[in-house]
């Protein structure tokens, strides 16, 4: 941490800052210039808040020079994290991972048809919500356990892996036998109790960015899962809320290269929730891969016009197929491959 004192700071002000830094465990190096004193705190105390220093008397400004997340930071694993799934699929390697399927599991027929389409298009994972976080309590809330069973059944039949959303701690145990990857939704990115519990399971987690979360907040949430010992974590940009109302969210493509720089964790993109408009999902998906995404999570429905949730942003089967064909052409430009 660096604390720059004001030119008018008194020796007493300076000593107060030094004392507090030492108390926290910093080694303090003092530089007295012609116009101001700079205090450099070396060392990494577990807990300190830069904001506390910014308001001390005589302080001009204070800056953090080490990152507040230790396990999520790129330097923890400079080579990047790779996650190997039971059937040999590797996330975070050269190959782009594709997860696709409906927003919600609605029926056996709907999810089986979806699985066949998703598999034929070349994806590795089937997505589909069994527990749905809906903005309105009167909207379809998902099929629950029955939905989990259907996901497993049709994925085994087609050779796909299963990703589905966990909304609360009590669902974790129930879900374990049926799924390959937990999805933490945008609304739960700061449900710290849930994140902590997911740190204790030994199954991969994909955590979405909260709708108004900063990149630092995403990484601090990741830290909750990693610090429990679960290192198989994927981060996912899914659009943030801005003043723009034309699109459902604003797909923050810029977060992808930023996250790739700051963390070793695989970074995915969900262009479906990111833009919310079916015909614009493909350009966002292509842009995400061009920007460095390790994988995509996308909504596709066999009959999106009749979907029980998120139909407007769900691709038609043919659109998914066409998009993956384009991704195969684009991937080599960024030194990646698409199965
Ligand atoms: C979803 O994937 O269907 C979903 C609810 O996503 P998000 O948490 O990003 O809104
Ligand atoms: Mn959805």
What's the 196 CA to ligand 1 centre distance in angstroms? 20
- Within a domain: 78: no
Looking at the structure of the chain, the number of domains it has is 2
Maximum separation of any 2 CA atoms in the chain, in Å:
77
Judgement on whether residues 100 and 206 belong to the same structural domain of the protein = yes
180 and 241 in a common domain: yes
CB 115 within 8 A of CB 160: yes
The answer to whether residues 107 and 206 belong to one domain is yes
Nearest ligand to the C-alpha of residue 308?
A: 2
Residues 175 and 102 in one domain: yes
Gap from CA of 69 to ligand 2 centroid (Å): 29
Residue 29's pLDDT is: 92
Distance from the alpha carbon of residue 306 to the mean position of ligand 1, in angstroms: 19
Domain match, 272 and 305 both? yes
pLDDT one digit per residue (tens) for the chain, 339 residues: 999 999 999 999 999 999 999 999 999 999 998 899 999 998 878 789 999 999 999 999 999 988 889 899 999 999 999 999 999 999 999 999 999 999 999 999 999 999 999 999 999 999 999 999 899 999 999 999 999 999 999 999 999 999 999 999 999 999 999 999 999 999 999 999 999 999 999 999 999 999 999 999 999 999 999 999 999 999 999 999 999 999 999 999 999 999 999 999 999 999 999 999 999 999 999 999 999 999 999 999 999 999 999 999 999 999 999 999 999 999 999 999 999
Which run of H or of E encompasses 193?
helix 192-198
pLDDT at residue 207, as a whole number:
99
Answer yes or no: is 207 within a domain: yes
Q: Do both 54 and 171 map to the same domain? A: no
One domain, residues 315 and 245: yes
Q: Is the same domain home to 204 and 177?
A: yes
76 domain residue, yes or no: no
Structure tokens at 78: 């400079």
Structure tokens belonging to residue 293: 């995404």
Give domain status of residue 77, yes or no: no
String of DSSP letters for 224-292: HHHTTT---EEEEE--B--S--SSSSB--TTHHHHHHHHBSS-EEE-HHHHH--GGGHHHHHHHHHHTT
Alpha-carbon distances of 246 from 238, 241, 242, 249, rounded to whole Å: 16, 11, 11, 8
Within this chain, do residues 137 and 177 fall inside the same structural domain, yes or no? yes
Atom number in ligand 1 closest to CA 132: 5
Helix, strand, coil shares of the chain, percent, nearest 5, are 40, 20, 40
Tokens 């205090």 locate to 39
What was the pLDDT predicted at 130?
98
- Please indicate, yes or no, if residue 230 is contained in any of the structural domains: yes
Return the ligand number nearest the Cα of 249: 1
Counting atoms of ligand 1 from 1, which one is nearest the CA of 187? 8
Same domain? 157 vs 182: yes
CA 104 to centroid of ligand 2, rounded, Å: 7
Q: Is 75 a member of any domain?
A: no
Residue 242 structural domain: 83-338
pLDDT at residue 67, rounded to an integer: 86
The answer to whether residues 149 and 45 belong to one domain is no
Q: What is the CATH number of the domain that holds 158?
A: 3.20.20.70
Q: How far is the CA of 333 from the centre of ligand 1 (A)?
A: 29
Query: Which residue carries 């012609």 as its tokens?
Result: 34
- Please indicate, yes or no, if residue 277 is contained in any of the structural domains: yes
Asked whether residue 38 falls in the same domain as residue 172, the answer is: no
> Ligand 1 — pocket residues by CB below 6 A?
103, 129, 133, 185-187, 208, 238, 270, 273
Tell me 183's DSSP state.
Answer: E
Q: How far is the CA of 265 from the centre of ligand 2 (A)?
A: 23
Q: Which atom of ligand 1 is nearest to the CA of 297?
A: 2
Mutate to test the pocket of ligand 1, among 101, 191, 208, 210 (most ligand atoms within 8 A of CB): 208
pTM score, whole prediction: 0.93
pLDDT of residue 275: 98
Q: Which ligand is nearest to the CA of 183?
A: 1
CB 163 within 8 A of CB 206: yes
């Amino acid at each position: 941490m660096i604390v720059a004192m004001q030119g008018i700071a008194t020796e007493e002000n300076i000593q107060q800052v030094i004392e507090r830094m030492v108390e926290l465990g910093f080694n303090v190096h003092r530089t007295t210039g012609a116009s101001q004193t700079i205090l450099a705190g070396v060392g990494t105390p577990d807990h300190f808040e830069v904001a506390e220093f910014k308001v001390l008397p005589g302080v001009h400004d204070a800056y953090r020079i080490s990152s507040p997340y230790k396990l999520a930071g790129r330097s923890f694993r400079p080579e990047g994290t790779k996650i190997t799934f039971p059937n040999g699929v590797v996330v975070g390697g050269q190959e782009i991972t594709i997860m696709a399927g409906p927003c919600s599991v609605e029926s056996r027929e709907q999810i089986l048809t979806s699985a066949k389409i998703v598999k034929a298009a070349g994806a590795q994972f089937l997505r589909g919500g069994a527990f749905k976080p809906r903005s309105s309590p009167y909207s379809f809330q998902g099929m629950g356990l029955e939905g989990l069973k259907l996901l497993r059944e049709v994925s085994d039949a087609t050779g796909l892996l299963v990703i589905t959303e966990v909304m609360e701690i009590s669902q974790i145990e129930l879900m374990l036998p049926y799924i390959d990857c937990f999805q933490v939704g945008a609304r739960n990115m700061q449900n710290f109790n849930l994140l902590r519990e997911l740190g204790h399971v030994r199954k991969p987690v994909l955590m979405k960015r909260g709708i108004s979360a900063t990149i630092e907040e995403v990484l601090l949430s990741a830290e909750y899962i990693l610090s429990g010992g679960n290192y198989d974590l994927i981060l996912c940009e899914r659009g943030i809320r801005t003043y723009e109302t034309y699109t459902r969210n604003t797909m923050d493509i810029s977060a992808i290269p930023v996250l790739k720089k700051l963390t070793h964790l695989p970074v995915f993109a969900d262009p479906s929730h990111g833009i919310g408009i079916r015909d614009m999902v493909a350009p966002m998906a292509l842009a995400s891969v061009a920007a460095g995404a390790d994988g995509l999570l996308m909504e596709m429905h066999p009959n999106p016009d009749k979907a029980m949730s998120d139909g407007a942003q769900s691709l038609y089967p043919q659109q998914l197929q066409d998009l993956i064909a384009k991704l195969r052409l684009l991937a080599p430009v960024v030194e990646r491959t698409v199965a």
